[in-house]
Structure 1
Amino acid sequence: MHPETSPSESRKIAVASEKASLEAPASSEAPTSDGEDYSVLTLSMRRYLTYLLGFTIITSTLTATIYFPLIPLLSTHFSVSIQAINLTVTVYAIFQAISPVFFASLADIFGRRPVLLGLISLYACASLGLALNKQSYAALVALRALQSIGGSATVPISYGIVADVAVVSERGKMLGPMLATCNGISAVGPVIGGAISLRSGGFAWVFLGLLIVAVISLLLIGFTLPETARGVVGNGRQQTHGIWRPWLTFIPGRKKQSNDGSEASKNPVQEGRKRTWKLLTTALFASLRIILFPDATAVLWMVAWSYSVYYTIQVAIPVIFKEVYGYNELEIGLAFLPGLAGMTIGGIIAGKRVDRNYVKTAAKYNVDVDRKKGDNLKDFPIEIARYRGVIPVILLEIALLVSYGWVVHSHVHASVPLIMQFFICGTSTFLSHTASTLLVDIFPDRSSTAYAAGQIMRCGLSAASVAVLQPLVNKVGRGWYFTIFALFVGISCLAAILTSKMKGMQWRQKRQAVVGETLGANLKS
């Protein structure tokens, strides 16, 4: 019999238990206990997954970029105001924040494959519905929400897959090309959307194109993606069954194999696992609880503000180049290219820099880098490693944003803001991806859930930024708007980085210690 506890003690125990549910023993913070490699996936398979994931997550980014040039056309077609069509952008951003809360947590527990397959299927159905919808504005709003639900969660799940198969010192090698692939393909979205809008006066083929993308992704994932969730297959040696198996393995004559290509034995632990409703409920709200941890809050603040720069610029482009420079729909689509090119290159540079910074910081602190089994991050200043050399980039971004506002305000030649969009989107992407990598590092066993928490923050802030954009521009003008916005972004990002560098490791160790004590107490009882 346990002694009776007071209400306050009960609340403390409940909070500690919730924290423990967020963080089991950190699978990617330390080498595997039995000396096995961190992942049994071959180098060629990891390289394939890099580009497969890069293609898959365009269901999130391409869906947004291809839509912006359609705004004037949709306004005319559905006989509603531009503000009403902008509402569909806000709705998309809201569900972009909400969707990962549920589905990224499910992917951490139930596996990446079944959740991804379900999401892509939902996205395909929504895209088909948008192509067939000819008259209903309400249907447009609802189907855009479903598109967002289906596509948005693919990003944190993809980050989770990278964390499943790549040690912390080499994640940049996957994240950089993955994001570059996504951004490179998404860069053509505004051009396609604008060209179709100008040439045909319709939008059905835009959404049919997104349907084709969804079907291709569904087939590639279904046939070739192995299950990688470490809670389901460990380092990849555990045998998978049913929907967790790639469809290729169901072809007659092919042996049932584990992810490393060797014939695997049955895993009674996996087959006997009981995923209760209590565990499911806990997982669904794990992303919200992550936001409350101080070490996570500092990183999330950085993720949100840096991403809001990119999103604000993308929403501002159609109006700026329509009103200030008199561009038509196709030209507006082309105006997105410099920013998206900058975003692509920024992602590549971020991927290389985070790995290089990790190695240099490890050398400074005399830590040996284990590229096969992973490194123990408990006493390693990963916050300092990831944010090494980032402050000058923030200062550059502030200067670019302020200059951009006054260049547009003064009606300087269009080539100047176009060039500046390249560098603004490049720096914001660099900062956002660097912070997102750190977020995954400090929650290694809940990588998709952690990234989903970042999605909540960044999409919520971006939706707010879009909501106040036009009213503030109307009130103070574009020059002062971007000046104020730049100062908010700069001060917030600098504060977040300095906080993480000075206090992040201490807070992280304290959080992990509380989790460890709670788990130990539960085992003893």
Structure 2
Amino acid sequence: MTDIEMDPVQSPIAMEKSEAAQHNEAIITDADHEEPCEYSVFSMALRTYLTYFLGFAMILSTLTATIYFPLIPILSTQLRVSIQAINLTVTVYAIAQALSPALFASLADSFGRRPVLLGLVTLYAVPSLGLALNRTSYPALLALRALQSIGGSSIPSISYGIVADVAPVAERGSMLGPMLSTCNGISAVGPVVGGAVALSTGGVRWVFLALFIVAALCVMLVGFTLPETARTVVGNGSVPAVGTCRTWWSVLRKKRPQREDGHDESHPSKEKRSWRVTNTFAAFRIILYRDAVAVLWMVASSYSVYYTFQVAIPVIFDKIYKYNELEIGLVLLPGLAGMTIGGIIAGKLVDRNYAITARNHNVDPREKNAKLRIDFPIEAARYRNCFIFILIEVLLVIGYGWAVYFRLHPAAPIVLQFFICGTSTLLSHTASALLVDIFPEMSSTAYASGQIMRCGLSAASAAVIQPLINAVGYGWYFTMFSLFIGTTGGASVLTSRLKGMKWRQKRVSQRDP
């Protein structure tokens, strides 16, 4: 299926048309006029609002993880349990973070983004309040952190789905870049603020209360302002939402949705999908597709660079540079700032690379009414000039390892980690955008599969980092790690560029013969 259809009225008509022929031709002409359906009717102003609102809502996933680390010693003392017991809550959180998006992303793809997102932020708010009130119970901490993770971890996948709903392929970078940068920018100050609040109050109550307040604000914003965008529910936005998919504001105004006869059933942009329990495993099934696994590896490997540094930096600056807890928290900020800037650059490059590739293949990059063409090399478009950034990332990580090994001035590794986190974020976001592109009918589920892969690889990386550093030292560890990520990441990009479109076409043809 392509975006540009050939005019069906091509043969010359030598004789005078009969009345029946004229009628048939009129039907064809009408169909031609209706074919170029606008991709989305949502206004640019609403898209801008969604960009920054979703970036804010996503902090319920990222901030919840980063703000917790400075609280571990205080929680151990308050609950009278070991540090290892508190670390177990981190493990439980990570497991829920990897698995919960598979369920909720598939629900959002089938039933709509709005009711699922509203349920998730509400689910997040309740355990956040419970954590603020909990003073002595370790089992309560364990259970409430798991619920908090279930509520927050699926929000990024649904946010990616909303972007895919309202923005055509050529313009997604203009939403993804600012959205992710908003999230990363706010989350960057999480560890410092969390540690400072806990230190000044002597406990963790106000940290969790702050998370509850943020969640309650998100509940109100989702309830009153977030429109339903799922194409399975409202098509390109022209099909009126009903039931729980309506905003509270429209319900309070008692404004009934106006429908044209049959419009909601026949709109060409509306793609109905039923949901079954087996849909929960859709994110895991995506991992088995050849075109997807190459992209997923790039998502996971580039993210693991950032995660590895988040694990290594506290140990490095404690043991080698003798920094205290507050100074270590401040040292983490340049890396998180790099993530923010990397997200902005990624968003701009995604759109720019698409436009250049589209022009090279005689496709109008300004075309806003089209879905991704099955014969368009989106893999080459997204990964244009990607090898340069992979090489830069490899050299930066190697340089970081040897800078630490030779105990250079701390400014050297701090500056390097800014560029490392920025580059790895750029690569991860680019691959994530491609992942959503090649699964347009289940964009949230596709992003959830990426989350499963990156959590798994990052957990493995965190598990082996210290034993390997003890065995070979910082210089050789980061050299080996960098070469592994660089060669495998480069191979996945090359595979996607050479084979990705062919595998994608075969997958789509087998599903829809």
TM-score, normalisation: structure 2: 0.89
Q: Secondary structure at the match of 1:285?
A: helix
Alignment equivalent of 1:308, drawn from 292, 300, 304? 304
- Residues 255 and 194 of structure 1, relative CA distance in 2, 3 Å threshold: same
Shift of 1:83: 4.2
- Structure 1 contact 302–497 (Cα < 8 Å) conserved: yes
Q: Secondary structure at the match of 2:452?
A: helix
Distance 2:87 2:452 in 1: 20
Distance 2:58 2:115 in 1: 16
Larger Rg: 2
Distance 1:404 1:81 in 2: 33
Shift of 1:317: 2.5
Shift of 1:374: 2.1
- Residues 452 and 406 of structure 1, relative CA distance in 2, 3 Å threshold: same
Instruction: Describe the superposition over 1:279-311 as per-residue Cα deviations: whole angstroms up to 9, x where unpaired.
Output: 322321111111111000100011011111111
Instruction: Describe the superposition over 1:234-272 as per-residue Cα deviations: whole angstroms up to 9, x where unpaired.
Output: 0111121221101111223x6335xxxxx544768679x
Distance 1:76 1:465 in 2: 29
Q: Which residue of 2 aligns with 1:5?
A: none
Shift of 1:392: 1.3
Query: Is the aligned partner of 1:500 residue 2:496?
Result: yes
More deviation, 319-328/279-288 = 319-328
Query: Is the aligned partner of 1:443 residue 2:444?
Result: no
Distance 1:479 1:138 in 2: 41
Distance 1:188 1:484 in 2: 31
Distance 1:311 1:398 in 2: 15
Q: Which residue of 1 aligns with 2:383?
A: 387
Distance 1:488 1:381 in 2: 27
- Structure 1 contact 90–466 (Cα < 8 Å) conserved: no
- Residues 415 and 256 of structure 1, relative CA distance in 2, 3 Å threshold: farther
Distance 2:186 2:262 in 1: 40
Alignment equivalent of 2:469, drawn from 449, 470, 473? 473
Query: Which protein has greater RCO, CA pairs closer than 8 Å, 6+ apart?
Result: 1
Shift of 1:108: 0.2
- Residues 380 and 189 of structure 1, relative CA distance in 2, 3 Å threshold: same
Q: Give the unaligned 5+ runs of structure 1.
A: 1-24, 258-262, 518-525
Question: Within 5 Å, which residues of 2 pair with 1:281-300?
Answer: 281-300=277-296
The alignment yields a C-alpha RMSD, in angstroms, of 2.5
Alignment equivalent of 1:338, drawn from 329, 334, 340? 334
- Residues 267 and 256 of structure 1, relative CA distance in 2, 3 Å threshold: farther
Distance 2:126 2:165 in 1: 29
Distance 2:475 2:81 in 1: 29
Shift of 1:366: 1.7
Shift of 1:56: 0.7
Q: Which residue of 2 aligns with 1:509?
A: 505
Amino acid at match of 1:45: L
Question: Within 5 Å, which residues of 2 pair with 1:116-515?
Answer: 116-252=117-253, 255-257=255-257, 263-265=258-260, 279-515=275-511
- Residues 407 and 203 of structure 1, relative CA distance in 2, 3 Å threshold: farther
Shift of 1:480: 2.8
Distance 1:32 1:492 in 2: 48
Shift of 1:80: 4.3
Q: Secondary structure at the match of 1:235?
A: coil
Shift of 1:27: 10
Shift of 1:136: 3.1
Instruction: Describe the superposition over 1:299-348 as per-residue Cα deviations: whole angstroms up to 9, x where unpaired.
Output: 00110111111112112223332333333332222122101100000000
Matched residue pairs, number? 483
- Structure 2 contact 299–454 (Cα < 8 Å) conserved: yes
Amino acid at match of 2:104: F
Amino acid at match of 2:430: T
Query: Is the aligned partner of 1:97 residue 2:108?
Result: no
Q: Give the unaligned 5+ runs of structure 2.
A: 6-31
Amino acid at match of 1:337: L
- Structure 1 contact 51–178 (Cα < 8 Å) conserved: yes
Instruction: Describe the superposition over 1:120-177 as per-residue Cα deviations: whole angstroms up to 9, x where unpaired.
Output: 1111112122222223333323222221111110001000000000000000011011
- Structure 1 contact 68–318 (Cα < 8 Å) conserved: no
- Residues 438 and 515 of structure 1, relative CA distance in 2, 3 Å threshold: same
Amino acid at match of 2:255: K
Distance 1:319 1:266 in 2: 65
- Residues 485 and 174 of structure 1, relative CA distance in 2, 3 Å threshold: same
Distance 2:188 2:336 in 1: 5
Distance 2:138 2:374 in 1: 52
Q: Which residue of 2 aligns with 1:60?
A: 61
